[in-house]
Amino acid sequence: MARYGLLIDASKCTGCHACSIACSMYNELEEEVTYNRLEFIERGKYPNAVMEIVPLQCMHCDNPPCATVCPTNATFKREDGIVSIDENKCIGCKYCMTACPYDARQLNESRIPEKCRWCPEMLEAGKQPACSSTCMNEVRLFGKLDDPDSEINKKMAQHEVSQLVTEKGTKPRIYYIKRK
Amino acid sequence: MLTNHKFWYAVSGALILFGAAGALNIIIHGEHSMGTSNYVPWGALIAGYVFFVVSSTGLSLVAALGHVFHMKRFEPLAKRAVLGSIITLLMGFIVIGLELGSPFSMIHILFSPNFQSAIFWMGLLYGIYLVLLVFEFIFLLKDDHKKSRLFGILVLISAIAAHSNLGAVFGFLVARSYWTGPYMSIYFILSALLSGAALLAFMYFLVSKVKRTEDMQVEGSHIVSHLGKLMVLFLSITVFFTVWKILTGVYGAVPGKHDGIMALLAGPLSFQFYFFELGFGMIIPLLILTLPGGFKPARVFAAAAFALVGIFVMRIDLVFAGQMIPLEPVKGALLPQFRDWTITWAEWGVMAGAIGGAVLLYLMGERKWNLETAPHEEGEDEKAPVSVQLAKKA
C-alpha cells in the first residue's frame, strides 16, 4: 500500500486560484466552495514590500485531530494516508471543523463537513489530482513517500522542507519547500 | 400575573410556536438559517444546549444535597428538582438535535463508536444519566426513599461524569487554545451548581406562590431563602473562576487564548460580557443577596432571574470567544481580526421554544403528580452518615 504525500513549492505560486477552481469543478462543488485556498502574507514596507502566497488544504495528518474527535469514525485515516469521510456515518456535529487547526473543512449543502480527499482515484491511477495537474507552475507535487525513487522523494532530498502547525502534534503529510 | 397558571400556559404556548417556526426553518434551510460559518461552525444552539444540560446537571447536584447527603432543609426539593432535571435535559437534546446536520445518523454511535471522541462519551453518558434520572423520579414518586436514594447516588455520579465530559468536548480541542485544558470540565461542574440553585430558587418561588397552600408557602419561602445562601457560595465560586480565567488569559499572551479573553474584555463581546455575564450573572445577584434582607424570597427570586439571564449569556460568550479568533495555520497571513457570527431568529426561536417546552412540561408534571416530598421515616435517620447524625444531636 502506497503512502501518499504532497510537496508544495509556494515560491512558484502566482496566486491565480486555478487550483481552487479546478478543485471546485472536479468535485462539482457549490458556488464559492473549494477544498483548497490561498493564504497571503505581506512582508516588508513600501517600496521594499513583497507578498507571499501559501496554498492551503487538508493536511491528511498522520495524527488527524478531526478523526480523533469524530464520534462515529465517519472521518478516518486510510492505509495510504488519505484522511477520508464516510458521509453516511456523519452526524453533522461539526466537531471535526472545530478540531482542525488548518480550517480545512467546508460544510456542504447536506450539512456534512467536507474537505480535500486528494482525489484518490487520480492518485491510484498514477495521475496528479485536479489542483496539481491544472497548475501552470507545478506548485504541487503529489507522490509516494514510501518509494525512494519517486519524484516527490527526489525533490524533497534536494530542498529544505517544513510543515505547518507541527506544534499541535498533527503530523501533516504536506511539506512546503522553504523559501530562499 | 406570575402566579397565574393560565399566564404560564400562554407564555409557554407562544414560545413553543416561535420554537416550532425556528425549528422548521432550520430543517428546511439547514445551515443557511443559522448564524454559523465554516470558520465559526458551532453556533448559538451549542450555547443553548450547554445552557440546558448545565441546568439539568445543576438541578441534580442541588437535589442531591437533600436527597443523597441528607441535608434536611433541601430534602423537600427532590421531586421537583429531578423532574426539572429530566425536562431540561430533554430540551437540551432537542436543541442539539436541531444543531446536528444529520441527527438520525446518531445510530452509528452504536455500530461504529469512536472511544477517543468526547462526543461519543457525551451521548453515552447523558443517555445513561437520563435513564437513571427517570428511575430516580419513579422511586421518588413512590416515596421509596431507599431505592430513590440509591438512584440519587448513581445520578450524582453520572451527572458529574457526563457534565465534566461535556467540558472536555471543548477542553480536548488542541486547535483552540481558548478552550484547551482541564479548566472547562471543572468550570462546567461548578457553574452547574449555580445554574441549579438559581433555577430551583426561581421555580420554587413561583410554585410556592401558585400553590397557595399554607404549608407550601411556609416551606417554599424557607427553601428559597436557603437556596439564596447557596447561590452566594456558587456565585462566589463562579466569580473566582472567571477572575482566574481572565488573569491567566491576559498574563501569558498565548495566541488564541489571549485574543479570546481580549474579545471579552475590549472586543466585540465586551458589552455582553460586562453587562450580562458579569453584571446580570454575578455582580447584581451577589449585591441583591448580600445586602441586608437579601435572603427574603422575593429578593432571592430576583437574584435568580438575573443570574439565569447572565448564565445564558455566559454560555454564548464561551462558545463564540473560542471560535471567533481566526486560526493562523500560516503565520503572518492576512486574516480578519475576528470571525463573524450571529444568532438568527430561527436559533432564538429554537432556544425560546425549548424554554417554553420546559415550562409546559413542568406545569403538566405539577398537575399530574404530587411533587410534595413525604417526610422520611424516623428509622431512616439512623442510616444517615455519622456526621449528619452528630449535627442533628448538636
Kindly report whether the peptide bond that precedes residue A47 is cis, defined as omega within 30 degrees of 0.
yes
For B239, other C-beta atoms within 10 Å of its C-beta total: 15
CB contact under 8 A, B105 and A111: no
**Does residue B99 form part of some domain?**
yes
Q: Could you tell me which chain A residue has the CA closest to the CA of B45?
A: A93
- The C-alpha atoms of residue B89 and residue B101 are separated, in whole angstroms, by 20
The interaxial angle of helices B5-29 and B78-99, nearest 10 deg, is: 20
Question: Cell numbers 477572575 correspond to what residue?
Answer: B243
A-B CB pairs within 8 A amount to 133
Q: Could you tell me which chain B residue has the CA closest to the CA of A70?
A: B117
Q: Does B116 touch chain A (CB under 8 A)?
A: yes
**Does residue B126 form part of some domain?**
yes
Task: List phi, psi (to 5°) of A144.
Answer: -95, 120
Task: List phi, psi (to 5°) of A136.
Answer: -70, -20
**Does residue B372 form part of some domain?**
no
**Does residue B221 form part of some domain?**
yes
The stretches of chain B forming alpha helices (DSSP H) are: 5-29, 44-67, 78-99, 108-111, 118-141, 145-171, 183-211, 214-252, 257-266, 270-271, 284-290, 297-321, 345-368, 386-393
| Greater pLDDT, A57 or A123 | A57
Task: List phi, psi (to 5°) of A5.
Answer: -150, 170
Q: What is the pLDDT of residue A179?
A: 87
CB contact under 8 A, A98 and B117: no
* Chain A closest-CA separation from residue B27 CA (Å): 11
How does DSSP classify residue A84? E
Return the residue in A31, A66, A75, A95 with the most chain B beta carbons within 10 A, the one to mutate for interface testing: A95
- The C-alpha atoms of residue B254 and residue B247 are separated, in whole angstroms, by 12
* Chain A closest-CA separation from residue B165 CA (Å): 13
Dihedral of CA atoms B170, B175, B179, B181 in degrees, nearest 10, equals 90
Closest partner CB to B109 (pick from A43, A72, A88): A72
CB contact under 8 A, B323 and A103: no
* Residues of B with Cβ-Cβ distance to A42 under 8 angstroms: 332, 334
Domain boundaries, position A27: 4-177
Q: At CA B137, angle to CA B169 and CA B227, rounded to 5?
A: 75
- The C-alpha atoms of residue B208 and residue B211 are separated, in whole angstroms, by 5
If one counts the domains in chain A, the total is 1
Q: What's the first-to-final CA gap in chain A, in angstroms?
A: 35
Residue among A149, A147, A142 at smallest CA distance from A57: A142
For A20, A37, A109, B86, B204, the CA distances from A131, given in Å and listed in that order, are 7, 10, 22, 51, 63
Q: Does B369 touch chain A (CB under 8 A)?
A: no
**Does residue B164 form part of some domain?**
yes
* Residues of A with Cβ-Cβ distance to B47 under 8 angstroms: none
pLDDT per residue as tens digits for the range A80-133: 999 999 999 999 999 999 999 999 999 998 899 999 999 999 888 888 999 999
For A176, B6, B38, B135, B255, the CA distances from A172, given in Å and listed in that order, are 11, 61, 21, 48, 21
Q: Does B39 touch chain A (CB under 8 A)?
A: yes
- Strand pairing report for A4-8 and A174-177: parallel
**Does residue B106 form part of some domain?**
yes
Q: For every one of its 394 residues, what pLDDT tens digit does chain B have, with 9 covering 90 and above?
A: 666 778 889 999 999 999 999 999 999 999 999 999 999 999 999 999 999 999 999 999 999 998 889 888 888 888 999 999 999 999 999 999 999 999 999 999 999 999 999 999 999 999 999 999 999 999 999 988 889 999 999 999 999 999 999 999 999 999 999 999 999 999 999 999 999 999 999 998 988 887 766 666 667 678 899 999 999 999 999 999 999 999 999 987 888 899 999 999 999 999 999 999 999 999 999 999 999 988 899 999 999 999 999 999 999 999 999 999 999 999 999 999 999 999 999 999 999 999 999 999 999 998 888 888 765 554 444 444 444 444 554 4
Q: Does A48 touch chain B (CB under 8 A)?
A: no
Using CB atoms within 10 A of its CB, is residue B292 exposed (0-12), middle (13-18) or buried (19+)? exposed
**Does residue B286 form part of some domain?**
yes
**Does residue B392 form part of some domain?**
no
CATH number of the domain within which B198 lies: 1.20.1630.10
Q: Does B330 touch chain A (CB under 8 A)?
A: yes
The per-residue DSSP string of B240-265 comes to HHHHHHHHHHHHH--TTHHHHHHHHH
Q: Does A72 touch chain B (CB under 8 A)?
A: yes
Q: What are A118's three cell numbers?
A: 486528494
* Residues of A with Cβ-Cβ distance to B172 under 8 angstroms: 69
How does DSSP classify residue B283? I
For A22, A63, A129, A133, B314, the CA distances from A123, given in Å and listed in that order, are 16, 21, 7, 11, 48
CB contact under 8 A, A54 and B333: yes
If one counts the domains in chain B, the total is 1
| Greater pLDDT, B307 or A179 | B307
* Residues of A with Cβ-Cβ distance to B171 under 8 angstroms: none
For A90, other C-beta atoms within 10 Å of its C-beta total: 25
Q: Could you tell me which chain B residue has the CA closest to the CA of A172?
A: B329
Residue among B145, B229, B204 at smallest CA distance from B362: B204
Domain boundaries, position B318: 40-325
Q: What is the pLDDT of residue B375?
A: 58
